Amino acid sequence: MDILALALARQERCPLLTGDRRPREAATAEGIEVTGTIWLVGELVHSGVVELEAARRAYDAMERGGRRLPWGEVKRQLAQFAALGHGS
């Protein structure tokens, strides 16, 4: 599936959404833009598709589930959205 996603991103000239190291490294080597969970959640909150509190709950569930994210960056993102008035 990783190879398929990488090939599709290359074909469509669009970013690859992944948090996995190997696909991220392969995409970077191919010159394909890579985005991840933090980018996706940020886009969803910024566009109003997801409320800030729902994003907080989702991140909490990810952390409880053992997801490896840069949690300091997550906290900064949530604080920034709160400061911009995206809800609480």
- The contacts found for 15-23 with CB under 8 angstroms, 24 or more apart, are 19/67, 19/68, 19/69
Are 27 and 53 spatial neighbours (Cβ–Cβ below 8 Å)? Answer: no
What is d(CA 43, CA 48) in angstroms, rounded to the nearest whole number? 8
13/46 same-domain check: no
Work out the mean pLDDT of the chain and round it to a whole number: 93
Q: Is residue 88, in this structure, part of any structural domain at all? A: no
52/63 same-domain check: yes
Task: For residue 11, name the pLDDT band (cuts at 50, 70, 90).
Answer: very high
Please give the pLDDT value at position 1: 83
Residues 6 or more apart whose CB falls under 8 angstroms from that of 38 comprise 69, 70, 73, 74, 77
Q: Please tell me the least confidently modeled range out of 6-10, 19-23, 24-28.
A: 19-23
For residue 44, what is the DSSP state?
A: H
27/51 same-domain check: no
pLDDT tens digit sequence for 47-83: 999 999 999 999 999 999 999 999 999 999 999 999 9
